[in-house]
Amino acid sequence: MLITAMVAGLGVATGLAVLAIGENMLWFFTPSQLLADQPPPGNRIRLGGLVVEGSVRRRPGDLEVRFDLSDRAAAVTVAFRGLLPDLFREGQGIVALGRLDADGVLQAEEVLAKHDETYMPPEIAESIGEAKVAERAAAAERKP
């Protein structure tokens, strides 16, 4: 009986640990990956990319801001309520942490801006580089 109780206790403890790890896990996506993979609404994710020029929208007297985040191949709308980092601006590389709603808008809980001009998360830099290569290839095909 004692061995059975110990095995059952160990099983419960392992199950709780796995559940806690799964709930605290943050998946990183670029806009292209997010649109291709479409994680279930409600899962907490990190979305990285560049703030699209001219996409920042604010309502007067409201702390909510909406903007589009792009990796140059695709764009996702982000909604954030609160104060944005001082380094936030259009064309800036950022990472938004939040949950995707049913409309495909990332409801951000936190927005992180890069701290200097040389830093960009490798996943974002790689995705932007791939999009630039695709743009150049498409432009070369259009030339007569």
Predicted TM-score (pTM) of the model is: 0.66
**What is the percent of the chain where pLDDT is above 90?**
28
- What pLDDT was estimated at residue 128? 66
Asked if residue 98 is part of any domain, the answer here is: yes
Compute the average pLDDT of residues 36-60.
85
Judge contact between 80 and 43, C-beta under 8 A: no
Judge contact between 90 and 56, C-beta under 8 A: yes
State the residue range of the domain holding 115: 26-141
Judge contact between 106 and 47, C-beta under 8 A: yes
Asked if residue 80 is part of any domain, the answer here is: yes
Return the SS3 of 80. strand
pLDDT of 69 above 60: yes
Domain count, the chain: 1
Asked if residue 11 is part of any domain, the answer here is: no
pLDDT of 117 above 50: no
- What pLDDT was estimated at residue 113? 84
Asked if residue 21 is part of any domain, the answer here is: no
The 3-state DSSP composition of the chain as helix, strand, coil percent (nearest 5) reads 35, 30, 35
Asked if residue 14 is part of any domain, the answer here is: no
Q: Supply the CATH number for residue 48's domain.
A: 2.40.50.140
